[in-house]
Structure 1
């Protein structure tokens, strides 16, 4: 996690700066960083909050952006479903994209086994620590960080790296291509609805490809 954590920290710094420059107080920004702990959802919600969009639009956009965690959780249940609910809730809060990718590489067989829990806790400790430390720096120093540093681009590169690590099959590349194409075509829709459009299109294509593959196997 040490190497990817550098890109993650850059993304956390960008999110911290964005929260303050969007009009949140330092206390509100710190609360959002600790309670939400989801950079893509935070950066999706902030412009909508500034535009005074209806609450349901803000909630729906954040929900759609974080839908991938439903998939992560369903997969992790095969490993940790036997643990107490309180512990699983804490694991759900701490879980992140990089943790998921690295965990599946380390434990490809979806069943409980030795070493899985310590590996998970070690990974999320680095993930959560790097994110929160950088977010706090961004919040506190928001007005002193020059825009020309290009930290937003560093955050985008970190996200692209995570996405690339997840693309291991032809169908996944097709789904990712559809999502990117629809997002670009629908970019000028109001209230960031291009995000929802991309998710719906990619989900529909992914479902169709999965069903086609199941039919061929039968």
Structure 2
């Protein structure tokens, strides 16, 4: 468990600003401090939590908020399926706790650590919880701090720009290939168009996400086909 906390330490520094933004943005969106804390504890998911806050601030339908959060967090299903065999000997309530604190960082660090086959199931669990629970504690503390700070920020500061800026900071480093660039451009364009043309129930965000995924897959397949054709031509 100490090893897990130590390995997570550098990541904690990185997630702190996002927690502050999530708390402050929740207040700016019109949530009460209690609602903001409840959202952070129940959802505990950076990207989907920020998206939910943005939609709540836009008076979106609750169903749209929930579906958006589920779509953004679908990757957790793959993480769960991948890491589940390592937790099979654990009792059900341990598995439930582990599933609640599952995050991208906890999954990545734990799977890398589990390459050491000398670890037993208890040691795997303790390492995972060392990473995941430390992330949870820092996220909640920073969210609460953001709530306190956000409640005192005057409207003239334009706090509503905080969430889009956070998403841009996550997006730009992730665009490393042409298919990802295509997905980002198409998804972003559709989402913005949905907002401009007033798509009902704020469904533009979900439509943008789906359009981005489809466009990225098509671009990836076409690039792969072009690469194979080029290789075949060179062989001939």
TM over 0.5: yes
Aligned partner of 1:95 in structure 2 is 102
Asked if 1:68 is matched to 2:75, the reply is: yes
CA contact (8 A) 1:14 1:151 kept: yes
Asked if 1:45 is matched to 2:52, the reply is: yes
* Largest Rg, 1 or 2: 2
* Corresponding residue to 2:10 among 3, 7, 10: 3
Deviation at 1:38, TM superposition (A): 1.3
Deviation at 1:205, TM superposition (A): 5.3
Task: Provide closer, same or farther for how the CA distance between residues 161 and 28 of structure 1 changes in structure 2, counting only shifts above 3 A.
Answer: same
Give the root-mean-square deviation of aligned CA atoms: 3.3
- Between 1 and 2, higher relative CO (CA 8 Å, sep ≥ 6) is seen in 1
The 10-residue stretch of structure 1 (22-31 or 184-193) with the greater mean CA deviation from structure 2 = 184-193
Q: Which runs of 5+ in 2 are unaligned?
A: 1-7, 196-201, 226-236
Deviation at 1:50, TM superposition (A): 2.9
Deviation at 1:71, TM superposition (A): 1.0
Give the aligned length: 201
Aligned partner of 2:189 in structure 1 is 185
Task: Provide closer, same or farther for how the CA distance between residues 98 and 112 of structure 1 changes in structure 2, counting only shifts above 3 A.
Answer: same
Q: The residue matched to 1:186 in structure 2 has which SS?
A: helix
Task: Provide closer, same or farther for how the CA distance between residues 52 and 157 of structure 1 changes in structure 2, counting only shifts above 3 A.
Answer: closer
Q: Which runs of 5+ in 1 are unaligned?
A: 168-172, 213-218
CA contact (8 A) 1:79 1:112 kept: no
Q: Give CA-to-partner distance per residue, 1:48-90, whole Å, 9 cap, x none.
A: 2233323322221111111111111111112113322221111
Aligned partner of 2:144 in structure 1 is 136
Asked if 1:122 is matched to 2:130, the reply is: yes
Task: Provide closer, same or farther for how the CA distance between residues 205 and 129 of structure 1 changes in structure 2, counting only shifts above 3 A.
Answer: farther
What is the TM-score of this pair, normalised by structure 1?
0.76
